[in-house]
Structure 1
Amino acid sequence: MDLQQMRYVVAVAETASFTRAAERCHVVQSALSHQVARLEKELGARLFERTSRRVRLTTAGEAFLPAARRALEAAERARTDVAAAIGEIRGGLTVGSIPAVAAVDLPAVLRDYRLRHPQVRISLRAGSSEQLVERVREGQLDAALLGVQPGFLPQGIHDRELAHTRHVAVVAPDHPLAGGGEVDIRRLAEETFVDFADGSAARAQSDQAFAAAGLRREVAFEVSGVELMAPMVRHGLGIALLPATFAAELHGLVTVEVIDGPVRVERLVWSRFPPSPAASAFLTLLGVAEAKPSPKAAPGPPAASR
């Protein structure tokens, strides 16, 4: 049994195809199939059920796959740790972020990181704050940038508060509020809103602000991201509440200060398990000086970067 055979098994499992797995691994299909067959013979069990239409894991394959992934991740971690010991940062870095981040200029940070560590593969994943917290907790992300309501404390991971941002009302240029000055939340309760999904962290700040004032509002449209929200507001379907620093970058819309509006807290979160050298370098760049990899620390679940 060797690492290459494990790579082939993982590739077949993830693509559900020997042909696509061979393309991913840059080998001819016959060579990949031969190595998988050799491994199955050594294990004494078939790992895949093969038909003319599909390829899927057997019960033995499902048992083998997680261990194969851990072995490959451990091997990659060993290589990156050795590289770090001689002053080189290699491997991968996977960062998650909500779509609208104000406290950190993420593209600029990634540019600086890339200049310092050109051998690191960088992946950026978008998602809601709830999704990102879970992915960090499960080791799918090295770190993530969130936007949550005050008092939000994620469990099972490290976190640091980055900034408080007040929300502003975002309206179309011909909306009655566009020509005025400040507005209070009681006046906004008369409007129809375009907002994020009910129960999401992106929506929670606004809902809590209206509830605290004893007010109800109408959310006529729920969207998954700002890229849908902005044109809907521009066409007069409703108004929105968004962080001031982000809303200012939306073209063709008007922002109005809200006297007693919602507040969003931006947080950086990362795994409680020892970070990889690549993840440690990223956290250090963001000012998390204590995020140092420890070769003596108890191993945890591997991060997504490996």
Structure 2
Amino acid sequence: MRYVVAVAETGNFTRAAEQCFVVQSALSHQIKALERELGVELFARTSRKVEPTAAGLAFVDGARRTLAQADRTVADAAAAVGRIRGRLTLGIIPTVTGIDLPDALRRFRDAHPAVTVSLQVGGSDEIVADIRAGAVDVGLLGLPAGDVPEGVRSRVIARDRHVACVAVDHPLAGRRSIGLDRLAGETFVDFPADTPGRAQSDRAFDAAGLDRTVAYEVMALDIVAGLVRAGLSVALLPSAVAPSDDPGVSLVPVRGGPARAEHLAWSDFNPSPAATAFLSIVDASSPAGDSPAVIGRPAD
């Protein structure tokens, strides 16, 4: 099953063999033997291309679930005698500030060296969907203040308010604070539409009855800073991730601006031993328990 899944994921027998730490001939032989046993072809093969057949796609889907359950069974057995092993998959947004993630991972590795950790960076909505689907164990999310992720367990680990990011030679640079009405006529760079990161600013402008123009949509913060620095746009970012050290960018507090909350999220059904252990590590580093840390405060 692992060989078939590897070929389906890589689209190549040689790369699949490398991934599985076997020689290609052994992997190919085992897959052909499986096909004879099943009486179907799992892959359509040419000299240049390998693709799963309809039967192969059905087999791969079931094989992934079976392998995941097998890994979980082994992990549960080890946990029963106090040993945590297996895999921990973390879904994280690019702007995590609510916990010191490298420090948490270091302490987790020290306590549970047999666990393999996988990090997946994405949007909060994607991470929540992956947690519900069982593809991610624990997520670190950023949502508009007041929102709660659905279908998962979660708790708030930090709150923050947005600041305006403008070029140092922008007319608004250096102000003590500004209102959303002063920003409404600017050209913005923001996260893609229909993402939680974008919703934080969209809702603030909607609540104020204001329109704005978003000319650039990106996920990478360094690109956001570059566009602001070049004078092509302004941005609204949580204060904890705004480019405060960039000499070409000025940060200005915003009255009535957007706010976000960072959430720690996990499956509401039978979390893995590794997930439970990681949550314990995070809890141990948060003396205030479920009380959220306030990173940014509203401007006066």
Q: Could you say whether these structures have the same fold, taking a TM-score greater than 0.5 normalized by the shorter chain as the test?
A: yes
Cα distance in structure 2, aligned partners of 1:23 and 1:95: 25
* Segment drifting more, 189-198 vs 224-233: 189-198
Cα distance in structure 1, aligned partners of 2:235 and 2:68: 44
Residue 274 (structure 1) aligned to one of 253, 270, 273: 270
- 2:79 matched residue in structure 1: 84
1:242 to 1:250, Cα distance in 2 relative to 1, 3 A:
farther
Amino acid at match of 1:241: L
DSSP-derived class of the 1:247 partner: coil
Cα distance in structure 1, aligned partners of 2:98 and 2:219: 22
Residue 261 (structure 1) aligned to one of 254, 257, 264: 257
Q: How does 1:203-242 map to 2 (within 5 A)?
A: 203-242=198-237
- 2:126 matched residue in structure 1: 131
Do residues 143 (structure 1) and 142 (structure 2) align?
no
- 1:299 matched residue in structure 2: none
Give the TM-score taking structure 2 as reference length: 0.88
DSSP-derived class of the 1:124 partner: strand
Assess if the C-alpha contact under 8 Å between 2:42 and 2:53 holds in 1: yes
Deviations 1:160-192 (A, max 9, x none): 222221111112222222222111112222322
Assess if the C-alpha contact under 8 Å between 2:227 and 2:233 holds in 1: yes
- 1:122 matched residue in structure 2: 117
Q: How does 1:29-68 map to 2 (within 5 A)?
A: 29-68=24-63
- Tell me, which stretches of 5 or more residues in structure 2 are unaligned? 285-300
Once the 2 structures are TM-superposed, how far is the Cα of residue 250 of structure 1 from its aligned partner? 4.6
Cα distance in structure 2, aligned partners of 1:66 and 1:192: 45
- 2:16 matched residue in structure 1: 21
- 2:287 matched residue in structure 1: none
Do residues 157 (structure 1) and 152 (structure 2) align?
yes
Assess if the C-alpha contact under 8 Å between 1:81 and 1:277 holds in 2: yes
- 1:285 matched residue in structure 2: 281
Once the 2 structures are TM-superposed, how far is the Cα of residue 249 of structure 1 from its aligned partner? 4.5
Once the 2 structures are TM-superposed, how far is the Cα of residue 266 of structure 1 from its aligned partner? 1.3
Assess if the C-alpha contact under 8 Å between 1:19 and 1:29 holds in 2: yes
Assess if the C-alpha contact under 8 Å between 2:192 and 2:217 holds in 1: yes
DSSP-derived class of the 1:165 partner: strand
Give the TM-score taking structure 1 as reference length: 0.86
How many matched pairs?
A: 283
Cα distance in structure 2, aligned partners of 1:124 and 1:250: 27
DSSP-derived class of the 2:266 partner: strand
- Tell me, which stretches of 5 or more residues in structure 1 are unaligned? 1-5, 289-306
- 2:298 matched residue in structure 1: none
- 1:296 matched residue in structure 2: none
Assess if the C-alpha contact under 8 Å between 2:140 and 2:265 holds in 1: yes
Once the 2 structures are TM-superposed, how far is the Cα of residue 154 of structure 1 from its aligned partner? 2.5
Once the 2 structures are TM-superposed, how far is the Cα of residue 282 of structure 1 from its aligned partner? 0.9
Cα distance in structure 2, aligned partners of 1:75 and 1:200: 35
DSSP-derived class of the 1:177 partner: coil
Cα distance in structure 1, aligned partners of 2:69 and 2:253: 51
Amino acid at match of 1:98: I
1:41 to 1:167, Cα distance in 2 relative to 1, 3 A:
same
Amino acid at match of 2:76: D
- 1:303 matched residue in structure 2: none
Amino acid at match of 1:278: A
- 1:197 matched residue in structure 2: 192
Once the 2 structures are TM-superposed, how far is the Cα of residue 141 of structure 1 from its aligned partner? 0.9
Cα distance in structure 1, aligned partners of 2:25 and 2:97: 51
Amino acid at match of 2:182: R
Deviations 1:58-84 (A, max 9, x none): 232222222222222222112212222
Once the 2 structures are TM-superposed, how far is the Cα of residue 44 of structure 1 from its aligned partner? 2.3
